[in-house]
Amino acid sequence: MTTFEDREKGFERKFAHDEELKFRATARRNRLIGLWAAEKMGLTGDEAQAYAREVIKADLAEPGDEDVFRKVRADFDAKGVDQSDHQIRRIIGEMMAEAVRQIESEAKA
C-alpha cells in the first residue's frame, strides 16, 4: 500500500469512528432527556425507563432534534408539566454535552 492509500484508509476509519460516537452520544442524550422528562412527569422506575426508550425511538422519525422536542413538548402538555420551549431546548443541549462527557469518560476508563 502506498502512503496515500494508508492515509485514505486512516481518514475512513476516523470518519466511521466519529459517526459511531455521534450516534452513541445522540442515543445517550435522548435517554437522558427521557429520564429528565419522566421525572418531571412523575414517572419512576420501569415507567421512567420505558419513557426514555420512547424518546430514543422518537428521534428516528426525522433528522435533527425537532422530533425529540415535539415528543417531550406534547407529553408535557398532556400531563400539565410547566416547562417552556426554551427550557426543553436548553435541556436538549445540556444533555448532549453530558452524553459526550460520559462517553469520553468511559473511553478513558
Supply the range of the domain harboring residue 69.
Answer: 3-108
Contacts of 48 (CB under 8 A, 6+ apart): 34, 35, 38, 39
Query: When comparing pLDDT for 12 and 86, which is higher?
Result: 86
Q: What is the pLDDT of residues 18-30, one digit of tens each?
A: 778 888 899 999 9
Average pLDDT, the chain: 90
Domains contained in the chain, number? 1
pTM for the whole structure: 0.84
Q: Which of 75, 62, 79, 1 is nearest to 33 (CA)?
A: 75
Three-point CA angle 96, 89, 65, nearest 5°: 65
60-107 residue pLDDT tens: 878 888 999 999 999 999 999 999 999 999 999 999 999 999 998 888
CATH code of the domain containing 61: 1.10.790.20
